[in-house]
Amino acid sequence: MVAPPVLPPIGRAALLLDFDGTLVDIAPTPDAVVVPPDLAAALRALRTRLDGALAVISGRPVEQIEALLQDAVEVIAGEHGGAIRYAPGEALDRMALPTPPEAWFAAGARIAAAHPGAALERKANGFVLHYRAAPALGPVLGEAMAALVEGSDRFVMVPARKAWELRPRGADKGAAVEALMRRAPFAGRLPVFIGDDVTDEDGMAAARRLGGVGLRVADAFGTPAGVRAWLRAAAEGVW
């Protein structure tokens, strides 16, 4: 494992984690992801050491992260911060975001159907075109989605890992970091954000603006397995 840079003392830190490509390995499709059996225990122990200041910030819906991690993480920001669950059982705190026209969802479905290997993932306020199964489709799908959002002042197309995502402007992981850090148990602490993808850069930048640390998986840990090894060590008292 690559040694991460110097972190704030654990008593002053808040740990904010991306999911896909950070906590778990990238799978051929989003629903094929595998959660290692020891991950939940490490997260629970580390949450205790952080006095609850641990959250997952993902592009996935909150409900998916909740189902995958069960009770290991109490605070979850989904849809790039478009929806946040601050505690188990609480209603989602949703940003006031526009929803794309239904015709755009239909167009996304047609694009995916016309390109074998492409997959459409629909979200509350947008959708993703995945091409993990057919990497050569990246430019073609990117052009198709760019044409769809051209001229829009409310939606933006952003690159992700072997995917293109259409989402509202203002919904990003940086906004999620800022929202979490305004509330207990995160307020007054220094954020440590760990992510692996282009969509995580906003979260890394926000953490740094707030006096904390933004870490890219490849640079600081090598792989998600490296992140998990560090989490286990941190849960046992190394951090």
Give the phi and the psi of residue 181 in degrees, each rounded to 5.
Answer: -75, -5
β-sheet with 163-168: strand ranges across? 119-123, 126-130, 163-168, 155-160
Given the residues 18, 172, 197, 200, the one annotated as active site? 18
Task: Clarify whether 18 is annotated catalytic.
Answer: yes
Torsion over CA: 31, 36, 38, 43 (sign): negative
Tokens of residue 53, six digits: 């200041």
Kindly state the tokens that stand for 5: 């840079």
- Alpha-carbon torsion, ordered 68, 69, 71, 72, to 10 deg: 180
- Active-site positions? 18
